[in-house]
Amino acid sequence: MSIIRRPMNRRSLLKAGAASSLVLATPTIISRSAWAETNFRNDPTNSKTVTFGFNVPQTGAYADEGADELRAYQLAVKHLNGEGDGGMLSTMKPLSLNGNGVLGKKVDYVTGDTQTKSDAARASAKRMIEKDGVVMWSGGSSSGVAIAQQSLAQEMGVVFMCGLTHSNDTTGKDKRRYGFRHFFNAYMSGAALGPVLEKEMGKDRRAYHLTADYTWGWTQEESIANTTEGLGWETVNKVRTPLGAGDFSQYIAPVLNSGADVLILNHYGKDMINSLTQAVQFGLRDKLVNGKNFEIIVPLYSRLMAQGAGENIKGIYGTTNWNWSLQDEGSKAFVKSFGQEYGFPPSQAAHTCYVQTLLYADACERAGTFNPAEVIKALEDHQFDGMGNGPTLYRGSDHQCFKDVLVVKGNENATSQFDLLEVVEVTPASQVTYDPEIFGGELGPYKV
Amino acid sequence: MDAIVLQILNGLDKGGAYALIALGLTLIFGTLGVVNFAHGALFMLGAFCAVAFNKLIGLEQVVVDPTKTTAWGTPLETRVPYIEVWLGDTGTTMLNYSVPLSIAFAIPVMLLVGYVMERGLIRHFYKRPHAEQILVTFGLAIVLQEIIKTYFGANPIPQSAPDMVRGAMDLGIWIGFDPGTVVYPQWRIVYLFFSLSVIGGVFAFLQFTTFGMVVRAGMADRETVGLLGINIERRFTLVFAVAAVVAGLAGVMYTPILPPDYHMGMDFLVLSFVVVVVGGMGSLPGAVSAGFLLGILQSFASMNEVKTILPGIDQIIIYLVAVIILLVRPRGLMGRKGVMET
């Protein structure tokens, strides 16, 4: 063993310096994900792109709504990849995205057709996860379908960002760690509608419910009835109607002489269009009962449904998650992007899907990884603004977004075919927030 | 009592639609021996004749106002229907009456559709088993509804009844009830009378014309009519086209009641088949009576008083009646011997 120290020459000094700099700089040069766990499904680390899945109804009764969702997703991908005018990326706060994809990877996407059927949606999602390697999927227009996909998300360990789903169960008894909902729910509709109904219709009313016979209908009926009974209204009857009944006349006729002066239609989509159209044809809106004008309420509105119901929606109260007429900076930016791309304003379904995609991408940036366990943690209790609904919290305990809720009324003086809903009240988030314990459920583990 | 009257009216009205569809269905089965699962699609096509007619006469003149912009920054467009620009108040009236006026549009369209369907596809399946007829006509129904979806979208498209018959009328005061207790939509009453007229017209056509006599003879004994030197095939082609028109007209007039969408035919198809089976395969009076009977039963089964005793009965009543009828009278209420029997 030699004890003679060789003198350090200039070359050795430079080599040692370069090596030390490299070691010290590694975490910031490569990325924060350098230290993150990489053992997760569909890890895109070795790929130049990252793939999202958009599972929307492309056939069936909700195909038009699905088409609008898909337009929004395509726009979101464009904006994430730095194309177009950036949309809500210019208003979203806080923002970790910088328009070069997500974590430096260009965003790619695949689409699927839920057919608004739980089994078809699961099969399509499974194909996207196993064959196309998606790191996240999103979409849908039905609570039953959303709940079925959330369960799959938990089984497969891939995040599902719900599309349009309004049942309390989605983030209540059926909530899942891998499922997130930006859309509002039936409880929030009830809480937002209550004060407006009291102001417009008073405390002495008799309500008759017609309810679609499935999970969403049941939870909406319960939430709205709790609200109206809390106001002092009497519930005359709650009648369940089969999904897709078409002709509701046999259910509407008994309302006429039931003593009720309010009809609450817990229907969505085609059922809502048909039941509302037929209720108006039966002259309910022209009726005077108990000395009061008969009123109809549609707790969950959408612009596409309003288009289907035509002039029958005039003056009918309901709630909506978002409306294109909002004048905040986020909404204006999104409407401008969407309108310029497609020639008409986006629906609330398009809005929630667009926002969900950006929120997921932003969470990946903040987490510094696509690892779902870390992304979930980044989404939980995340507070953001500039997305069209005011300051919003993605509550960690049930994965439900809490934000302002819009109470709307069918526009009496529409200026265009899209100007169908008039915002009568923006109910603050604090008024629609509830204890997550009331709906029960277990989120499940982070790692599956 | 008022509730019972309302449900009878409802049932008659609903039954009118069932009867019209079932009438065409049983006419085709009785003459051609074809089980036509595309018949619901013909009802839907009729409804979309009303939509297409409304869109045609509602074609709009687009005027761009460069001084105003939309929320997304493009110049604002003001749209006025050409027909109003050209014809003034007459144009507005035509738009208001577009549903009844579209009958004139639907008749030739449905005649053509029926003729092409029969000559182009159905006639090749006359001698094939019923299962194959069902498969091919069901496939055709899916094709037709996908075509409609491609052009008109999946969302229901509302069609308004004319202003004059848009609201509800107080029928109660005419039949001795208190005012406001029996209130019924005017258009539904129009639909009931319309369906009765069409049914009456079809029966009169078959009963009082030579053509009808030959068709009835062909329904009873096709071979003998053929041996008499009558080209029964050609007549049956026309019968198919007439059945298509009947289903189409039922669809046209139903649009103000049910905003049409591409799937509405399927919703009515199964019910109409049950109506035909209950009425008796091949029996025209059977189909009509069963249509009204099942419509009324369905309405009564939806009454809260009935549902309290038998929950869910409203959803199964039609099938329950069909099962009972098939057990008690396997040929249906007015079924003829030898039809669908070997």
Reduce the DSSP state of residue A387 to 3 states and report it: coil
Question: What part of A 271-290 touches B (C-beta under 8 Å)?
Answer: 273-274, 277-278, 281-283, 286-287
- Residues A83 and A364: beta-carbon distance below 8 Å: no
Q: How far is A50 from chain B (nearest CA, A)?
A: 30
Cβ–Cβ < 8 Å for A190, A227? yes
CB proximity B93 to A under 8 Å: no
Dihedral of CA B323/B327/B328/B333: which sign?
positive
Whether the complex's predicted ipTM is more than 0.85 is answered with no
Contacts of B168 in chain A (CB under 8 A): 281-283, 286
Strand partners, A208: A237, A263
Q: How far is A369 from chain B (nearest CA, A)?
A: 35
Chain A to chain B Cβ contacts (< 8 Å): 131
With H, G, I as helix, E, B as strand and everything else as coil, classify residue A408.
strand
Q: Do B155 and A253 touch (CB under 8 A)?
A: no
Q: Give contacts of A 38-67 with B, CB under 8 A.
A: 59-65
Cross-chain residue pair A307–B155, CB shorter than 8 Å? yes
Domains of chain B: 2-328 (1.10.3470)
Quote the DSSP letter at residue A164: S
| Record: contact A339-B73, CB cut-off 8 A | yes
Q: Which among A237, A257, A286 has CB closest to B167?
A: A286
**C-beta atoms of B267 and A256 within 8 A:** no
Per-residue pLDDT of chain B (342 residues; tens, 9 = 90+): 778 888 899 899 889 999 998 998 888 888 888 888 999 999 999 999 999 999 999 999 988 888 888 888 888 888 889 999 999 999 999 999 999 999 999 999 999 999 999 999 988 888 888 889 999 999 999 999 999 998 998 888 989 999 999 888 888 888 888 887 888 999 999 999 999 999 999 999 989 999 889 888 887 787 888 888 888 888 888 999 999 999 999 999 999 999 999 989 988 888 888 998 899 887 889 999 999 999 999 899 888 888 888 888 888 899 999 999 989 988 888 876 665 555
Give dist(CA A419, CA A382) in Å, integer. Answer: 33
Q: Which residues of B, range 13-52, sit inside 8 Å of A by Cβ?
A: 13-14
Do the Cβ atoms of A84 and A110 come closer than 8 Å?
no
Candidate from B156, B181, B267 with C-beta closest to A308: B156
Whether residues B7 and A250 touch (CB distance < 8 A) is answered with yes
Interstrand relation of B168-170 and B183-185 (parallel, antiparallel or unpaired): antiparallel
- Give the minimum alpha-carbon distance from B139 to chain A in angstroms, rounded to a whole number: 16
Q: Which residues contact B115 (CB under 8 A, 6 or more apart)?
A: B237, B240, B241
Residues in contact with B246: Cβ distance below 8 Å, sequence separation at least 6, in sequence order:
B20, B23, B24, B27, B198, B202
Please check whether residue A354 is in contact with residue A346, taking contact to mean a CB–CB distance below 8 angstroms: yes
pLDDT values of chain A reduced to their tens digit, one per residue, 448 residues: 444 445 556 566 556 555 555 545 444 444 444 444 568 999 999 999 999 999 999 987 788 899 999 999 999 999 999 999 999 999 999 999 999 999 999 999 999 999 989 999 999 999 999 999 999 999 998 899 999 999 999 999 999 999 999 999 999 999 999 999 999 999 999 999 999 999 999 999 999 999 998 888 998 999 999 999 999 999 999 999 988 778 898 899 889 888 999 999 999 888 899 999 999 999 998 888 889 999 999 999 887 788 888 888 999 999 999 999 999 999 999 999 999 999 999 999 999 999 999 999 999 999 999 999 999 999 999 999 999 999 999 999 999 999 999 999 999 888 888 888 999 999 999 999 999 999 999 999 998 8
Q: Tell me the C-alpha distance between B224 and B233, whole Å.
A: 13
Q: At what angle do helices B284-301 and B264-279 cross, to 10 degrees?
A: 110
Spatial distance between the Cα atoms of A365 and A391, rounded to a whole number of angstroms = 20
- In terms of Cβ atoms closer than 10 Å to its own Cβ (0-12, 13-18, 19+), residue A367 is buried
Helix, strand, coil percent values for chain B (each to nearest 5) = 70, 5, 25
On chain B, the residues whose CB falls within 8 A of the CB of A270 are: 156, 261
Q: What is the nearest CA distance from B6 to chain A, expressed in angstroms?
A: 6
